[in-house]
Amino acid sequence: MNGEQRREQPAVRVTADTSRCVSSGQCAVTAPSVFDQDEAGQVVVLAAEPVGRAAEQAREAAARCPVSALRLHPAR
Ligand code: SF4
């Protein structure tokens, strides 16, 4: 008997360097389930280990960030 529930494993782990963020908002627009902005416009990571389409959007957002504040690492 195998009662283990299969879940989609995170492909990436997302981190944001808020000291670099210039509040452009590209990330929140590109990957709204992964990134948001606080009242000052600074990036907030909503989902540190996105899966599926959200992971793809996170990669795209990292590529679009004008100051390279977003990093994607292999999921643990
Ligand atoms: S795209 Fe980059 S600079 Fe713009 S809000 Fe997101 S982390 Fe900050």
- 46 DSSP assignment: S
Encode pLDDT of 20-53 as tens digits: 999 999 999 999 999 999 999 999 999 999 999 9
Question: What is the helix (H) or strand (E) element at residue 45, kind and residue range?
Answer: strand 43-45
Q: Is the pLDDT of residue 7 over 70?
A: no
| Closest atom of ligand 1 to CA, residue 30 | 1
Q: Is the pLDDT of residue 6 over 50?
A: yes
Give the residue carrying structure tokens 């959007």: 57
- 42 DSSP assignment: -
- CB of 27 shorter than 6 A to ligand 1: yes
pTM of the entire structure? 0.88
Q: Is the pLDDT of residue 19 over 50?
A: yes
* Domain 18-74 of CATH type 3.30.1330.10: no
Encode pLDDT of 51-71 as tens digits: 999 999 999 999 999 999 999
| Closest atom of ligand 1 to CA, residue 70 | 7
